[in-house]
Amino acid sequence: MSIDITSIRAQFPVLNQQVNGFPLVYLDNAATTHNPQAVIDASTDYYSRLNSNIHRGTHFLSREATAAHEAARETIAKQFNAAHSHEIIFTSGTTDSINLVSTILTFSGKIKAGDRVLVSGLEHHSNIVPWQMLCEHTGAELDVIPITDSGEWDLSEIDTLLTEKTKIVAVSHISNALGTVNPIEKIISKAKALGALTLIDGAQSAAHMKIDVQAMGADFYVFSGHKCYAPTGIGVLWGREEILNELPPYKGGGEMIERCSFEKTTYNVLPFKYEAGTPNIEGAIALARAFDWINEIGIEAIAEHEQKLLDLATDAISHIDNVQLYGTAKEKATVLSFNIKGIHHYDLGTLIDQMGVAVRTGHHCCQPLMARFGTTGTVRASFAVYNTEDDVHALIKAIKKAAMMLA
């Protein structure tokens, strides 16, 4: 499979600029991807033509906005092969989605003192802290799958960590800090056999591989739009219908009620039960357009293109003196995390930016993982469909020059 990279890049206005006198090379896609013109146009069209609150209005604009918002839900459901569109809950992003699940489990009474919650050592803080908060409120305890030196799960003692006391397993599909593609099917299968729920953090996988939530077998899958060529402030929680129906609401307010009185309130059906208040209407519409755009190119073609760039960059950087790579798993995607020995990651990233190359530095919201590797942070380059081999060459050139200047 091949893609027309010139045509693709032309669709991203933000790339047509210079930084410090250099053409912008944007390699911070694991944090946020840019929006193609088609997605920008979808956002503009909403505010220019439809802007109105949804669901309850009888006037024309409200009806049209409602139809566009619910069509977006249908698009997302189809994209991830959800059994029902009402299993798609719009949130503000991955963090909000995980907090939604952890909160409703906290107050459901399903998790009690002595129960266990299992995460992995690869997790982003947003898939650690909400579960710590759940444990504080319920008396449950947190268990952690350890990490090997290559940045993969060490499953040698998984049968000790994952037991009948485990009530939920919450793990990332792809590590945001290392790019490791985790064997989620193994952990989901083991968890299901023991009656535990499973949540998959798909923040780094939703835009890079085909996801089928029914085939995956998990109970919850979450992701953010701004890592999928869509705006910030929009995300998705997919959850199994029977589980979402059984669990309590997350927030109280408008739209999530069936009937409200001072004596008693009853709750709305899915998905509205979990969507209190005015939603990010434009964000949902733009997110659906982003996935349409991805599919116009082909997600398999995108993945193949990104893998070639990752392989090229990994090989090139391995020839730089004193480079230290973090995350050398057999299965990796989109992320290259590294340091130069003797140079602080922040200093290196700052000089790389001076040469027009945007990378991320720091702990990437993964302080426990950084501690596992004995560092406070790394420099992270991450790839998207609009990146090129020239971007890789510019990165390597900038690293070499920055390292020489800081030596």
Can you tell me the distance from the alpha carbon of 1 to that of 99, in angstroms, rounded to the nearest whole number? 38
Q: Which helix (H) or strand (E) holds 39?
A: helix 37-45
Q: In the annotation, is 365 catalytic?
A: yes
CA distances 232 to 228, 286, 401, Å, are 10, 10, 34
Q: Which structure tokens are listed for 286?
A: 């733009």
Can you tell me the distance from the alpha carbon of 243 to that of 149, in angstroms, rounded to the nearest whole number? 37
3 state SS of 340: strand
User: Which of the following is catalytic: 135, 228, 365, 366?
Assistant: 365
Q: Which structure tokens are listed for 208?
A: 């890079």
Helices in 80-175 by DSSP H: which ranges? 94-106, 129-138, 158-161
Whether the Cβ atoms of residue 177 and residue 366 lie closer than 8 Å to each other: yes
Terminal C-alpha separation, the chain: 42
Can you tell me the distance from the alpha carbon of 221 to that of 239, in angstroms, rounded to the nearest whole number? 7
Can you tell me the distance from the alpha carbon of 47 to that of 280, in angstroms, rounded to the nearest whole number? 12
CA distances 187 to 141, 162, 171, 234, Å, are 19, 9, 9, 28
CA distances 241 to 245, 277, 320, Å, are 6, 21, 51
Can you tell me the distance from the alpha carbon of 140 to that of 166, in angstroms, rounded to the nearest whole number? 9
3 state SS of 141: strand
Q: Which helix (H) or strand (E) holds 239?
A: strand 235-239
Whether the Cβ atoms of residue 238 and residue 87 lie closer than 8 Å to each other: yes
Q: How far is CA 162 from the centre of its chain?
A: 24
- Taking residue 202's Cβ as centre, other Cβ atoms within 10 Å add up to 30
Q: Which residues are catalytic?
A: 365
